[in-house]
């Protein structure tokens, strides 16, 4: 069993150190405990720690020591132990940030090493970002947030997201207006970038825009392939002139059909070149936070304005899928699954049935999903039902990153607007803690505590909003001045974009499954549990509606994609309530409204049930089904996709895509337990060196490739197959 020290370093658990600490407190005054009792108590504490089935933090051990001494009636010893612990905490507090920074520089801070599954913590740029983040979190705790919100965050009642960026005037997610920037020009690092004259140049500029945007916000961003599609025709015309010129130089007059054939062949090469630029640039670029841009690419045929443009868009989508199926080469030259860009493919009438004109693209998407876990799927049919704006029309559009959705919006000219909008930030409520605080069957107490916690989240969200209010466009010119989000003047404040629904601000929630079970003893898959779960979701939406009406700000309910926070919440719950079977007995809690990963249920029942909850999560939500290797069963993938089209707005299929650099094994890398800790291990050669393993797993809406903390690793290990 491992123990994690205060500076984040990990070491072997040693029961003797517990016994020595108790003996010191016992001898500091009149002794109340014999050596035999102390040794027995230390052994009991060790067993209690082992029951948690994970690496334990030193503060948790000390909590066990305090309660253990008091249970033995040695109250004076307990006082001396608590007093000494308090004095040591005060000493450490003055310099805790320094120690955190030093431990992350030496790459021995276990918590930070596993905080983000798409950041490599040994890389200088990542360490620099983490160092700045530690300073920002320190400032946030001491200066920017009320003490009760800081305390609630530290105790795991809520999670104040991205405190490592809060000191700056930065926001969360973007839906980039790539069309405006490409058609009307933009400015990157003080250099004017005019409208491109070819598809490949447009793709190159798009990657530079994405990198710049990623360096000026901290969440995900999305672009649409539709905004690149007009440049296909520009390249076609350019290539046609070139071919005709070549023919004239040779003194010939080729048939129009022959010219057209040559042009289309060269055009496909141009498209291939452009998509390669996007794929390899986005995989190899490092933004200022030390990771590849967290970007989603949207593929929606019905976004095209006419049939000719739709056909050109289909060419681009086809190439994007083909290149993603191939993958990218790792450091030893083997093709592996990249984490980004994330792809979303819209299922629509033109591509969902065997007789649809673009069904061939849907089959290609299914093949890509089976091999590389992307694209994910949006149902145009369901989205048009759920995303209706004030004109009465349904709209289909992409999320901002992995799941954060804007709410329907119509501008002052009566036109729907999505590109160029953003999310101000997120605060997540730990629903499990609310339920455990109330107790089994005490619904009246639950609703009372829920109201109190919601108001706490409300004030935390207001703090996020106020931090952005007054921000000058100069803080991020690419965003506010040069078209990614707006074209404000230099020195102009962004305030008008924070109100009236132009941007959203998100109330996140986590652990609905455990919350319902803690309250009622029923699962979300049972009628009583489903009814209670939906009632809770409606209450969360009602709170957002109340705040929105009072403040003219678009508060929206968001199914939080917990990554490292799932572990944080689980530890906090065990500390506050102990181990409650079915509630706090894991090192993770369930994301958003999801059915628990261990629950046996088939893919279609899971998607159908979760669709009811997804409707009540307008600020963002995604459902998934866990599947085995489907590369030889594409028809089964297509059947799930067709079910998604008819029943749920946004969903994905999770498979595995791994590689061992030591032995060349390209099957599933397994998770094994050793001395209370989980490790990734090649089943062929036993390699556990993560620097020589390529593992890709859907973490929480997006793919992670840099490994995970113990809580998330346990969750991945325990996932059951739904197909």
Active site annotation includes 70 = no
Q: What is the DSSP string of 106-147?
A: TT--HHHHTS-TT--TTSHHHHHHHHHHHHHHHHIIIIIS-H
694 is annotated as an active-site residue: no
Distance CA 444, CA 438 (A): 8
Other residues' Cβ atoms within 10 Å of the Cβ of residue 104: 24
Compute the distance between CA of residue 524 and CA of residue 517 in angstroms, rounded to an integer: 8
| Catalytic status, residue 95 | no
In sequence order, which ranges of 552-585 are alpha helices (DSSP H)? 565-577
Q: What single string gives the DSSP state of each residue in 217-230?
A: -SS-EEEEGGGTTH
> Is 396 among the catalytic positions?
no
The one catalytic residue in 103, 120, 172, 200 is 172
How far is residue 149's CA from residue 388's CA, in Å, rounded to a whole number? Answer: 35
Helix (H) or strand (E) holding 61: helix 58-71
Any catalytic annotation for residue 563?
Answer: yes
Q: Which residue among the candidates 220, 290, 620, 701 is catalytic per the annotation?
A: 701
User: Catalytic pick from 345, 558, 624, 702?
Assistant: 558
State how far the Cα of 696 lies from the Cα of 551, in Å rounded to an integer. 42
Decide: 414 and 425 in contact? Cβ < 8 Å.
no
Q: Which residue in 49, 170, 173, 457 is the catalytic one?
A: 173
Of 404, 430, 591, 611, which is the active-site residue? 404
Known catalytic residue at 701 = yes
d(Cα 427, Cα 642) in Å, to the nearest integer? 34
User: Residue 341, preceding bond cis, omega within 30 degrees?
Assistant: yes
Identify the DSSP state of 165: G
Question: Distance between CA 444 and CA 456 in Å, rounded?
Answer: 19
3, 10 contact by CB (below 8 A): yes
From 49, 320, 383, 400, active-site residue: 400
- Report CA 637 to chain centroid distance, whole Å: 24
423, 541, 592, 709: the active-site residue? 423
Angle value at C-alpha 705, between 704 and 708, nearest 5 degrees: 70
Strand partners, 3: 11, 56
Catalytic option among 402, 436, 630, 660: 402
Q: Has 436 been annotated as catalytic? A: no
Beta strand spans in 587-637 (E)? 623-626
**698 touches 652 (CB < 8 A):** yes
Q: Give the active site residue among 270, 380, 563, 610.
A: 563
Q: Round to whole Å and give the CA distance between 455 and 462.
A: 10
Taking CA atoms, 276 is separated from 203, 328, 331, 376, in Å, by 9, 10, 18, 20
Spell out a b/e string for 608-628, using b for 16 or more CB atoms within 10 Å of the CB, else e: bbbbebbbbbbbbbbbbbbbe
| 173 is an active site residue | yes
Can you list the pairs that 271-276 forms with residues at least 24 positions away whose Cβ atoms lie under 8 Å?
Answer: 271/199, 271/232, 271/235, 271/315, 271/316, 271/319, 272/319, 272/323, 273/200, 273/203, 274/199, 274/200, 274/202, 274/203, 274/204, 274/228, 275/203, 275/316, 275/319, 275/320, 275/323, 276/323
Residue 221 contacts residue 294 (beta carbons within 8 Å)? yes
CA quadruple 386, 390, 395, 397: dihedral positive or negative?
Answer: negative
| Sign of CA pseudo-dihedral 10, 14, 17, 22 | positive
The H or E element spanning position 159 is strand 158-160
Is residue 591 part of the annotated active site? The answer reads no
Question: What residues act catalytically?
Answer: 172-173, 400, 402, 404, 423, 558, 563, 701
């Amino acid at each position: 069993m491992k123990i994690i020290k205060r500076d984040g370093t990990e070491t072997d658990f040693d029961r003797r150190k517990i016994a020595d600490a108790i003996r010191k407190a016992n001898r500091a005054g009149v002794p109340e405990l014999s050596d035999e009792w102390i040794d027995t108590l230390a052994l009991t504490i060790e067993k209690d720690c082992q029951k948690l089935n994970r690496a334990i933090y030193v503060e948790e051990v000390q909590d066990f020591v305090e309660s253990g001494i008091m249970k033995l009636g040695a109250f004076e010893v307990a006082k001396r132990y608590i007093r000494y612990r308090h004095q040591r905490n005060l000493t450490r507090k003055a310099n805790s940030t320094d120690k955190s920074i030093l431990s992350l520089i030496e790459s021995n801070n276990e918590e930070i090493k596993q905080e983000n599954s798409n950041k490599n913590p040994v890389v200088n740029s990542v360490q620099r970002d983490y160092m700045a983040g530690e300073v920002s979190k320190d400032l946030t705790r001491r200066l920017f947030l009320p003490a009760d919100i800081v305390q609630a965050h530290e105790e795991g009642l809520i999670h104040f997201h991205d405190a490592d960026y809060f000191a700056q005037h930065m926001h969360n997610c973007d839906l980039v207006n790539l069309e405006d920037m490409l058609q009307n020009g933009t400015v990157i690092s003080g250099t004017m970038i005019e409208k491109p004259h070819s598809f490949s140049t447009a793709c190159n500029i798009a990657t530079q825009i994405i990198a710049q945007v990623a360096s000026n916000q901290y969440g995900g961003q999305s672009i649409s392939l539709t905004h690149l599609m007009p440049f296909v025709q520009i390249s076609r015309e350019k290539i046609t002139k070139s071919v005709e010129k070549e023919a004239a130089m040779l003194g010939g007059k080729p048939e129009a059909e022959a010219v057209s054939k040559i042009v289309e062949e060269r055009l496909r090469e141009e498209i291939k070149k452009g998509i390669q630029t996007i794929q390899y640039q986005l995989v190899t670029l490092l933004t200022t936070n030390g990771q590849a841009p967290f970007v989603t690419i949207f593929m929606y045929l019905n976004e095209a304005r006419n049939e000719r443009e739709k056909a050109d868009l289909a060419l681009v989508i086809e190439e994007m899928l083909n290149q993603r199926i191939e993958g990218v080469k790792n450091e030893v030259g083997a093709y592996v699954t990249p984490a980004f860009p994330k792809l979303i493919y819209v299922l629509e009438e033109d591509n969902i049935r065997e007789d649809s004109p673009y069904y061939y693209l849907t089959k290609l998407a299914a093949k890509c999903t089976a091999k590389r876990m992307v694209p994910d799927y949006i149902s145009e049919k369901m989205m048009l039902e759920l995303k209706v704006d004030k004109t009465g029309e349904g709209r289909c559009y992409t999320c901002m990153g992995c799941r954060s959705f804007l709410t329907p919006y119509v501008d002052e000219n009566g036109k729907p607007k999505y590109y160029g909008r953003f999310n101000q930030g997120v605060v997540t409520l730990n629903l499990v803690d609310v339920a455990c605080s109330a107790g089994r069957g005490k619904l009246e107490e639950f609703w009372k505590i829920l109201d109190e916690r919601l108001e706490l989240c409300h004030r935390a969200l207001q703090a996020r909003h106020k931090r952005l209010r007054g921000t000058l466009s100069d803080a991020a010119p690419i965003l506010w001045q040069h078209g990614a989000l707006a074209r404000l003047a230099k020195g102009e404040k962004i305030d008008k974009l924070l109100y009236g629904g132009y941007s959203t601000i998100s109330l996140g929630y986590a652990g609905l499954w455990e919350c319902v079970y803690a309250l009622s003893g029923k699962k979300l898959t049972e009628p009583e549990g489903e009814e209670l779960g939906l009632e809770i979701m409606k209450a969360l939406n009602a709170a957002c509606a109340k705040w929105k009406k009072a403040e003219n700000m678009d508060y929206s309910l968001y199914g939080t994609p917990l990554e490292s926070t799932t572990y944080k919440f689980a530890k906090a719950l065990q500390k506050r309530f102990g181990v409650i079977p079915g509630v706090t007995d894991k090192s993770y809690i369930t994301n958003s409204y999801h059915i628990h990963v261990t629950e046996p249920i088939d893919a279609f029942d899971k998607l159908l049930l979760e669709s009811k909850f997804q409707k009540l999560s307008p600020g963002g939500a995604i459902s998934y089904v866990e599947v085995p290797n489907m590369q030889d069963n594409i028809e089964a993938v297509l059947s799930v996709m067709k079910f998604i089209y008819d029943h749920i707005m946004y969903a994905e299929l999770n498979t595995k895509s791994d590689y061992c650099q030591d032995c060349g094994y390209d099957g599933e890398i397994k998770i094994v337990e050793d001395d209370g800790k989980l490790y990734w291990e090649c089943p062929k050669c036993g390699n556990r060196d993560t620097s020589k393993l390529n593992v890709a797993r859907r973490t929480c809406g997006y793919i992670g490739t840099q490994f995970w903390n113990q809580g998330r690793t346990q969750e991945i290990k325990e996932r059951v197959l739904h197909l």
